[in-house]
Amino acid sequence: MDNETINLTISCSPHVHSPDNTRSIMLDVVIALIPAMLGSMYFFGLRALLVMAVSVAACVAFEYLYRRILKKDATIGDCSAVVTGILLALVCPATIPYWAIIIGDFFAIIVVKQLFGGIGCNFLNPALAGRAFLFSYPVLMTTWPKIGTALHLIGSNADAVTAATPMAALHQGTLPADRLIDCLVGSVGGSMGETSAILLLAGFAYLLVRKIISARIPVSYVATVAVIAFLFPQGNDRLVWTGYQVLSGGLMLGAIFMATDYATSPVTKAGQIIYGIGCGLITMGIRYFGSYAEGVSYAILIMNVSVYLLDKIGTPKRFGYVKPKKEAEIK
């Protein structure tokens, strides 16, 4: 054995790593979104697939170009831009023009994510910030097509038959015309990926099994919404009102896939629970008192900026730390 011919790598321990990496985590999120993506195609047709494809392609292209032009290391391999592309598409109506979703992708990837340093450095959820930016075109963002309408694959869908969303009725303080079971299954008006609670919950189960997220944020978020709805019902039946509040609008998509975004949610257990409760409170505040019918995306964006503070509150107790005894106790 000749010492001269051996090339040994020197680095600090540890020398083994968990098989999970950023890319595998992002791909797990994509897998968890597959039921909702298939649902959006079932409810809104092929156009939903095209919107998602355009959005993903635009996100990846913007990230690639930005990092290429600024001579930074390429990061599209981590697949986080793919997740952003899918999520932004899922929170838009299927009628959204392609040019609009591309503008949203630009805002999400370039302004919100890359200008702050790229993956992990953004302080707002890129997809939700992209959606908020697109509300500069409020009509485009609220043209909810009726389920099963044949949408034009190319060209404007401004003439599409529209449907009222359950949220609009709830905002008026009345129960929606849709049955509760429709809200669960998803055959109601709304953004492409938000309508079916059951498909989103399937994705939630997958994320939990794969240990990609913990249940703390989604559960505390949805539970807060449910408690407030139950305590302050409108209409005759508390339980039915609560059911609609939980199953309608963007709550499931937001609580499971948006509020749990790593970069913009707390890392401490206590912080995550407070964060979920905060999201729930703001969501219900907007739903009850706001001029928008739905409050999920703004609730999450507002809580995004409190993450550092919440992590400070949630900082684990120091190992071996004992409170110094008060003088009285010593005596």
Contact 112, 6 (CB under 8 A): no
Segment lying near other proteins (by CB under 8 A), choices 90-98, 162-170, 259-267, 288-296: 259-267
Tell me the site size for other proteins, rule CB under 8 A: 41
Phi and psi at 300, nearest 5°, equal -70, -40
Which is closer to other proteins, CB of 232 or CB of 308? Answer: 308
* Minimum CB distance to other proteins, residue 25 (Å): 6
Task: Determine if 69 is a binding residue for other proteins (CB under 8 A).
Answer: no
316 φ/ψ sector (left φ>0, alpha ψ -120 to 50, else beta): beta
Q: How far is CA 242 from the centre of its chain?
A: 22
Task: Determine if 154 is a binding residue for other proteins (CB under 8 A).
Answer: no
Contacts of 189 (CB under 8 A, 6+ apart): 144, 145, 146, 147, 162, 163, 164, 165, 166, 195
Among 12, 139, 328, 330, binds other proteins (CB under 8 A): 12
Contacts of 202 (CB under 8 A, 6+ apart): 35
Binding mask 82-121 for other proteins (x = CB under 8 A): ------------------------------------xxx-
Which is closer to other proteins, CB of 71 or CB of 156? Answer: 71
Which is closer to other proteins, CB of 120 or CB of 235? Answer: 120
Q: How far is CA 215 from the centre of its chain?
A: 14
Task: Determine if 237 is a binding residue for other proteins (CB under 8 A).
Answer: no
> Which residues, numbered 262-321, are part of the site for other proteins (CB under 8 A)?
262-263, 266-268, 311, 315-321
Burial class (CB in 10 A: 0-12, 13-18, 19+), 324: exposed
Task: Determine if 326 is a binding residue for other proteins (CB under 8 A).
Answer: no
Closest CA to 112 of 196, 104, 267, 64: 104
* Minimum CB distance to other proteins, residue 167 (Å): 31
* Minimum CB distance to other proteins, residue 66 (Å): 14
Which is closer to other proteins, CB of 14 or CB of 328? Answer: 14
Angstrom distance (rounded) from CA 305 to CA 309: 9
Segment lying near other proteins (by CB under 8 A), choices 70-78, 167-175, 247-255, 294-302: 70-78
Angstrom distance (rounded) from CA 266 to CA 261: 9
Q: How far is CA 153 from CA 148, 157, 221, in A?
A: 14, 9, 36
Task: Determine if 80 is a binding residue for other proteins (CB under 8 A).
Answer: yes
Residues in contact with other proteins by CB under 8 A are 1, 3, 6-18, 20-22, 24-25, 73, 75, 78, 80, 118-120, 262-263, 266-268, 311, 315-322
